[in-house]
Amino acid sequence: MLMGDDDIPPELTERDQWDGWVMARLDDGWCAALDRNTMLCTIYEHRPMICHDYQVGDSDCIEERRLHANASL
């Protein structure tokens, strides 16, 4: 979910089913701002606030990695 202060290129965003402003996902399910070759954020310096708050290696991160690992099995 994006916030009013987020300055994201419009082509990387979309409205979700509840009309919330969110990062767009491509057909592979990953964020539209993710470089698929490097797996790095292409807008890192301007990434959304929610991404700033998401800490690598915290419990949410570990859970998300677990879900993706299970989904790709």
- Helix or strand or coil: residue 55? coil
Tokens in use for 20?
A: 């919330």
For residue 2, state whether it binds ligand SF4 (rule: CB under 6 A).
no
Give min distance, CB of 58 to ligand SF4, in A.
14
Q: Helix H segments across the chain?
A: 49-53, 59-71
Structure tokens at 47: 């990434």
Q: Which is nearer to ligand SF4, 61 or 66 (CB)?
A: 61
34 is a site residue for ligand SF4 (CB under 6 A) = yes
Residues that bind ligand SF4 (CB under 6 A): 23, 31, 33-34, 41, 43, 47-48, 51
